[in-house]
Chain A
Amino acid sequence: MSIDWITVLAQIANFLVLVWLLKRFLYRPILDGIDAREAEISNRMNEAVEAKDKAAAVEADYHDKLRALNLSQSEISETIRKSAEDQRDALLAEAAQQMKAERENWQAHLGDEAHKFTTHLHRVGAETLLSLTRKALTDLADETLEERMARHLVQQIKPMVEDLKKAAGDATVATVVSHDALPVPVQKILKAEILALCPNATVTFKTDSAQVPGLMFRLGGAQIAWTLDSYIEGLESLMEDRLNTSAGPKVVTDAS
């Protein structure tokens, strides 16, 4: 057991060289590689954390948007529902108004039809009454209707002749208006009777198709008339009474 000091020095030098070589070719590359990998892992971890944070932020944003969307949807639904209700109310009001207007139109139309019917009934009733009266007078009294009307008019004029003259003032034209032209004998009778009551009058005869059958005497501004209006109205009320009593349901009971 001996120590070779030259070998000792050589081994110290060899060892130092080996330290440098291993530092150059082993430790530094390996440690740098480990450091780089750790840094890469750390970066990836940081990136993962950032990505996780971003994902969390995106998720929160998504939830916020979803909540806002739901809120917006409910608001839109409420708005649509209110709009639909308003529109429904407007349509119902418009329909009610249309129905009211149609009902009024229908009522007016019904009134027109009733007026037309009443007018037609008047005319037909008057013609019928006139025809029946004329035939009855001819058959029973051998007189004409116009002659009877003329005599009846004269009978009406007589008690009122003074009042008529006062009302007529200075007028001297006496006019007899009828629906149809009066026969000449009737005109002569009337003219004679009128001249007997009013000697200064000038008697004229006129026809008016719009006038109800009958006679109308006019002296200046005063006038007196006999027409079938009152008879026709009486006939109408009489027919209505009869129709009302006959149109209702009748209960027939068997006495036996």
Chain B
Amino acid sequence: MNRKLIGIVTVLAVVVAAAALQSPTFLSGPSVESLLARTALYGLLSIGAAFVIVTGGIDLSIGSVLCLAGLAPPFLVLELGWPIAAAFAAALALALVLGVLHGVLVTRLDLQPFVVTLCGLLVYRGLARGVTGDASVGWAERHREVAWLVERIPVTDAFAITPPMLVLLVVAVAATLVMTRTVLGRYLLALGNNREAARLSGIPTERTVVVAYAISGALAGLAGVLFVVDSVGGKAASLGNFYELYAIAGAVLGGCSLRGGEASIPGVVLGAGLMQVVLSAVRQTGIDTEIEFAIVGGVILVWVVAEELLRRAWRRRARG
């Protein structure tokens, strides 16, 4: 685990250094601020994905849950006249309930996580588009009552902290503590490693897996609410497209194994950050943005191949 953390920090440092050499503005205040702001939102998604991945499952519905829960508050407030607090509460509750639903289907009916959450991906986006009529939904002129959610807190003239960054910090610290210091975290790691041994030890494996999907759903909802405030609004057809893949990629870069049983939350946050650094670097160093997917995919592939080769080398050294 520590080895993986050192690895991701090293890669992050190398990519940042390379980008800074290529583009002098890469380490400027506004650039770093936008980088961290985006990392804050994607980091939340990756942490949620990590909770599911550690159980050996997968959550493909993250992007669609984000879209549905993110568009719900402005829709409820502006179209239906709900109070703001109630609209936010309803959006987060909806995301949580969808996560619980995935978990129940995966455990009680023993359905495959891939299939369950793939259906979620399709259904929630379809619902969001249907309800909003594919029109752009958003906080008109950034509704005064919600603007504080993304209000910049200036540190220097060129750099400010935004509330989503603080939200990520709180969530990341809490998630790290849950994973390493609580009964729930120990259960997640144990059942991700060996579900049968966990079951035979009297661990409530089904309930624990449901909690993991609930956390993923809730964090996708939270990120969605913040996204929509931050970007003033969005369209159901595009908001959150592919975000589940970014979330999973961040978790994998951060050291999660899709076989389950392994997760380091700090690693996952750094993984999400690395994704954003690579994307920013692509945009700022003048590489054609059309090929950014190819570059992101390439970076992930290089990283997992390198990791596997290093692991084999270590094992060979440990043996011989």
Q: Do A and B bind each other?
A: no
Q: Which residues of A contact B (CB under 8 A)?
A: none
Q: Which residues of B contact A (CB under 8 A)?
A: none
